Structure 1
Amino acid sequence: MKKQHIMIIAIIIVIGIVAGGLVLGNSSTERNPDELVTAVGTHGGEPETGFNPILGWASASEPLIQSTLFKRNNNMSLVNDLATNHTVSSDGKTYTVNIRDGVKFHDNSSLTAKDIVFTYNEAKKVGGDIDLSNMLNATAVNDSTVEFYLNNSDSTFISKLSTLGIVPSESYNNETYGQNPIGSGPYKFVQWDKGQQVILELNDDYYGKKPEFKKLTILFLAGDAAFAAAKKGEVDIAEVPLSYSNEKIDNMSSIILDSIDARGISLPYLPDTGNKTEDGVSIGNNVTSNKAIREALNYGINRQTIIDGPLQGHGNKSFDGIGYQLPWNNNEAIIEDGDVDKAKSILESDGWKDSDSDGILEKDGQKASFTVYYPADDTTRQSIAISVSEQAKKFGIEVNVEGKSWDEIDKLKLSNGVVWGYGSLDPSSLYHQYYGGFAGNEYDNPAYYNSSIVNQHMESALSSSNIESSYNDWSMVSWDGSNGISPKGDAVWIWTVFVDYPYFVDNSLDISENTTKIQPHGGDIFGNIYDWKRLS
């Protein structure tokens, strides 16, 4: 056979092998058993400022790279991590925390109280995602003891000691740390390909229970892209939109995780009297400020319709935004919803009538019409808003629905309805959501709600001797038998549903569903990664 013929045949064979490899690549991707590849960024996404806890990285989830003073177990109880024990002063203003000896950062430097003090004081100065405004300062008593001094007693402050990853004080640089983070957590940072992925490797010197997986790659894929990667076998875990939750993927199982992540629509509590913030943002709405409108919406909307429709059957009803799994949940806030006749009766009793037969009620020349905005890139919130709008028509309220960017919504949120996501394991988040003194402060209390009775419940909760004893007061924020933010009270928001979190998980992987943590707003799939195992 001539040489050129041999060369042509060889080339054809090589092309065939490459093409075959590409075809196979569409169905599976080989990786070592101790390597994990995930696409779980549907909610949190790629951190804009990098993997810097001081600027907000993993403030509601397992930071992986850094350690925290405390963690939450699957029962949502706080347990020690870097901390070994803690005490609180009788006036509730001083928290003393003892920490482990012998903990090393990934660069082999020692982690001491000095690093914890630096992290918390720096986070307060920078003003990241964690609210430390009540913390006066943190001080190192010695290498293994930290004292946190507060301006006012705060029974929930220990929750904030579970949310901030500790950074090394000696090498920390606010400008560069996020791109090359050093921590003391179970995984070391290896590589960040912006817009694509982050690669982590196991920290062999980790002081706690080590995960089984030596390499963890997190792909920054959301929505359709995450589902496509799962279908190609390119990932072990994919977080997908609810619209894909009932699909089938070969060699993968669909797992739906419970959450406290609620979707609610804020309803401006004040009328529009022309008042504006210092930034020129209008305050108030002449329709939603009417209590009968807010009550009718809360009683008339059928939340199960939203679950069965936009959520594909995966979710639970919400009446006050407080997860039913939480110890400050208040079952007395539950109502019989979907009652169109009751909604009509509430409105009729308040003087709302359809005098021009256009299907929209009026009172004193004011149409029962207002607008609800949602982030334009969030199809679930869009679907919820549309469902509320369609249902409200049945009892004469016109809810216009419009998608906007967050920058645009920021200028509209105090005078219009907005579909928000919320779900925190820290009860003090209610303080920011409803306390009168926080009204209109950035994203706090967008409804501009102010009730002296509800304010008092929150103040009493914060002044409790410990977080457990505060739960009863927090529950009364929702409903105390006479007052509250729930539909039986001031009906400040239309809380609609808790959204479940759908994942596709490779059949060779056990993510230990019996130790999976309740998913907060933003998710925490890695919260129990210490218990994950490869089955084959």
Structure 2
Amino acid sequence: MKRKLVAALLVCAMCTSLAACGGGGDSGGDSGYRDEINIAVDVDAETYNPILTNNTTGNRVGQLIFNGLVRLDEEQVAVPALAEDWDISEDGLTYTFYLREGVTFHDGSEFTSADVKYTFDEILNEENNAPYRNRYVAITDISCPDDLTVVFTLDSANSALMAYMDLGIIPEGAMDDAASFGTAPVGTGPYAVDSYTLNSETVLKANEDYWEGDPATETINVYVINDNSTRLASLESGDVDFVCSPLTASDLELVENNDELVMNDVPGLGFTYMGFNVTDPVIGDLAVRQAIAYMTDKQNISDVIYSGMDTPGKTPVLSSSWAYDESLTDYEYDTAKAEAVLDEAGWVDSDGDGIRDKDGTPLAFTVSTHSDDTSRFQVAEYIQNQLNGIGMDVDVEVTEWASFSEALTQRSLQVWIAGWLNQLDPDRMYDMFYSDGASNYGNFSDPEIDAALNAGRATADEAERAAQYQFIAQSVTDNVWYNVLVEQAYISIHDKDLEGYTVYPSGSIYTLWQAKIAD
């Protein structure tokens, strides 16, 4: 409780600071537009190094700092960025990118093919422990015939690769001091980092030499306000101009009729889920995980906790995906089946203390989540109540994002509630479920799923790919590696005078470089 109180006081102090600084921004002179935009995010980026970043803020704000060879448009289609054009060989094993001439990094150095090679060499370097290294493992050689041409050679086709070529390009040598680069990054994007303060703010300044043109607004201030409700209140008061998901559904009613704000609500490309560590002595029992799945009333979670904003989930393949099929199934809410599966597996209350046990081991575990999303905390408490009601001894642990994220990557949690965004292609499951996947936090391993993930990459035939991903999604769901709770909506809310911003279902805020606010 003390930790939560201190966090709340810090947030309130930050909001007071924003107000004292005149958070709405200064006049843009005779232009009729302000010279700054203030946005609020839920968690600190921790690092803006695109090789190492692994959270929403690092990715979203990073898109304003860096460019990839391509970027993904509103329809998630790869369009030219640092590469003006490209060729892909008929066998899918050679990708040749033709780079844009005259591009410079924020420090004035010239962008060349050597920087592209360096970036991809570094993400493939196992010593760097890059979170998304598995997306690029098919690349076996990168050559630079000249300063404006890069050739990637693959040992096997990867149909999802173009969706991953938006990786931010870093200058040669940046990884020599990866930690420093993460807080003082140098990219080719529309904004450069002017200053960074841990867990507080990042100040972005317009890149006057940006190859795509002059950014519309001189400064973008990125404030970290962990609490969803406080972040939205900061928008209502005018201290910030833009917020986006995650947001608490019950708070949205407060702004729906606010004529000073515009709310964009679109189906997102993410889901919220329960994850399970299958190597844990208790959670490793499939019957326990099945009982948890049977006790999860997803419709109730959607209706009550998310107020219908996020819809009931089913499998890791989103219902909006081209790979989805109506035949995919999950566990229906059924208390009787939950109790029966536990009884049959030998989890019974043998000593009359109200807690099931098996071979002397009580059916006890902890559900973990992070304090930055109050909805997930509410879900954890709801599930705790459900499971305690059938003889499980369930604790809930809520920590700040940094501690929660570290525990996830160390694979030390038993059960957790988190989310995945940017499910642009079902190949994203590779990170989650491949035996050595960097985001395989539950220690999952199944040769058939590994083979299906590889097969999904190896073919360009969409029907064949869909069949592989449907097999994976159904297997993961049947074995309760993930219990997908809800499919997320993407919501952004901004000052009514904000012009030029385009909503991306992926949650990308890249178009803020073209945005401005009337004075």
TM-score normalised per structure 2: 0.79
Alignment of 1:131-170 (within 5 A): 131=133, 132-162=136-166, 164-169=167-172
2:276 to 267, 281, 285: 267
Q: Is the 8 A contact 2:114 2:147 kept in 1?
A: yes
2:238 to 225, 229, 233: 233
- How far is 1:24 from its partner? 9.6
Alignment of 1:520-531 (within 5 A): 523-524=507-508, 526-529=509-512
Q: Which has the higher helix share?
A: 2
2:51 to 50, 54, 62: 54
Counterpart for residue 121 of structure 1? 121
Stretch moving more, 393-402 or 447-456: 393-402
Q: C-alpha separation between the residues in 2 aligned to 1:151 and 1:420?
A: 34
Query: What percentage of aligned pairs have identical amino acids?
Result: 23
Q: Is the 8 A contact 1:65 1:184 kept in 2?
A: yes
Counterpart for residue 476 of structure 2? 485
1:182 to 180, 183, 186: 186
Question: What SS does structure 1 have at the residue aligned with 2:151?
Answer: strand
Q: C-alpha separation between the residues in 1 aligned to 2:408 and 2:131?
A: 17
Unpaired stretches in structure 1, ≥5 consecutive residues: 1-21, 270-282
Counterpart for residue 7 of structure 2? none
Q: Is the 8 A contact 1:26 1:233 kept in 2?
A: no
Counterpart for residue 417 of structure 1? 415
Amino acid at match of 1:87: D
Stretch moving more, 352-361 or 396-405: 352-361
Q: Is the 8 A contact 1:140 1:147 kept in 2?
A: yes
Distance 1:210 1:322, change over 3 A: farther
Q: Is the 8 A contact 1:67 1:166 kept in 2?
A: yes
Q: Is the 8 A contact 1:299 1:343 kept in 2?
A: yes
Q: Is the 8 A contact 1:323 1:329 kept in 2?
A: yes
Alignment of 1:356-435 (within 5 A): 359-362=354-357, 366-375=361-370, 378-404=373-399, 405-406=403-404, 409=407, 413=411, 416-423=414-421, 424-435=423-434
2:280 to 275, 284, 294: 284
- How far is 1:490 from its partner? 1.7
1:324 to 319, 326, 329: 319
Larger Rg: 1
Q: C-alpha separation between the residues in 2 aligned to 1:527 and 1:299?
A: 40
Q: Is the 8 A contact 1:156 1:426 kept in 2?
A: yes
Q: C-alpha separation between the residues in 2 aligned to 1:121 and 1:376?
A: 36
Distance 1:23 1:453, change over 3 A: closer
Q: C-alpha separation between the residues in 1 aligned to 2:274 and 2:225?
A: 28
- How far is 1:344 from its partner? 3.7
Question: What SS does structure 2 have at the residue aligned with 1:421?
Answer: strand
Deviations 1:326-358 (A, max 9, x none): 333343324463333443444455555556665
1:498 to 487, 493, 501: 487
Question: What SS does structure 1 have at the residue aligned with 2:239?
Answer: coil
Q: C-alpha separation between the residues in 1 aligned to 2:122 and 2:409?
A: 30
Q: Is the 8 A contact 2:217 2:514 kept in 1?
A: no
TM-score normalised per structure 1: 0.77
Question: What SS does structure 2 have at the residue aligned with 1:260?
Answer: strand
- CA-based RMSD of the aligned residues comes to 3.6
Q: Is the 8 A contact 1:29 1:233 kept in 2?
A: no
Q: Is the 8 A contact 2:160 2:457 kept in 1?
A: yes
Q: C-alpha separation between the residues in 2 aligned to 1:232 and 1:407?
A: 31
Question: What SS does structure 2 have at the residue aligned with 1:428?
Answer: helix
Question: What SS does structure 2 have at the residue aligned with 1:403?
Answer: strand
Q: Is the 8 A contact 2:271 2:486 kept in 1?
A: yes
Q: C-alpha separation between the residues in 1 aligned to 2:288 and 2:199?
A: 44
Q: Is the 8 A contact 2:37 2:217 kept in 1?
A: no
Distance 1:98 1:342, change over 3 A: same
Distance 1:216 1:490, change over 3 A: same
Q: C-alpha separation between the residues in 2 aligned to 1:28 and 1:191?
A: 19
Alignment of 1:462-473 (within 5 A): 462-465=457-460, 470-473=465-468
Q: C-alpha separation between the residues in 2 aligned to 1:27 and 1:90?
A: 54
